[in-house]
């Protein structure tokens, strides 16, 4: 699963950040911001128009990301309790 697919209020761990090409500045910047292997992330909110931007929390810091940026972050260990509660709300 990628970060752009993470359900609202769900948590997961970062597995990797995908580089689209050599010296990918966006992938490098995501890593610098804390999107590194093992770090917990949470989908806090989605924007009103097309669900963009995405508000993501890493540690105590929140970032607004485009879907195209969030889709580069591969996740593992999605919090099933958060995912289930989101499905109930839908």
Q: State the pLDDT at residue 88.
A: 45
Beta bridge partners of 57: 42, 62
Four-CA torsion 15, 24, 47, 33, nearest 10 degrees = 60
Q: State the pLDDT at residue 49.
A: 82
**pLDDT string in tens for the chain (90-residue length):** 999 999 999 999 999 999 999 999 999 999 999 999 999 999 999 999 888 999 999 999 999 999 999 999 999 988 755 544 444 444
Q: State the pLDDT at residue 81.
A: 55
Is 73 within 8 Å of 3 (Cβ atoms)?
Answer: yes
The CATH number that applies at residue 15 is: 2.30.30.90
- What gap in Å lies between CA 6 and CA 11, rounded to an integer? 8
Counted domains in the chain: 1
- Provide the domain limits for residue 32: 3-89
């Amino acid at each position: 699963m990628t970060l752009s697919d993470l359900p609202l209020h769900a948590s997961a761990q970062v597995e990797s950040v995908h580089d689209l090409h050599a010296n990918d500045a966006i992938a490098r910047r995501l890593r610098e911001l804390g999107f590194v292997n093992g770090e917990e992330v949470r989908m806090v909110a989605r924007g009103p128009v097309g669900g963009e931007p995405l508000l993501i929390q890493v540690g105590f810091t929140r970032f607004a990301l485009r879907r195209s940026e969030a889709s580069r972050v591969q996740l593992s260990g999605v919090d099933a309790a958060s995912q289930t509660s989101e499905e109930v709300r839908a």
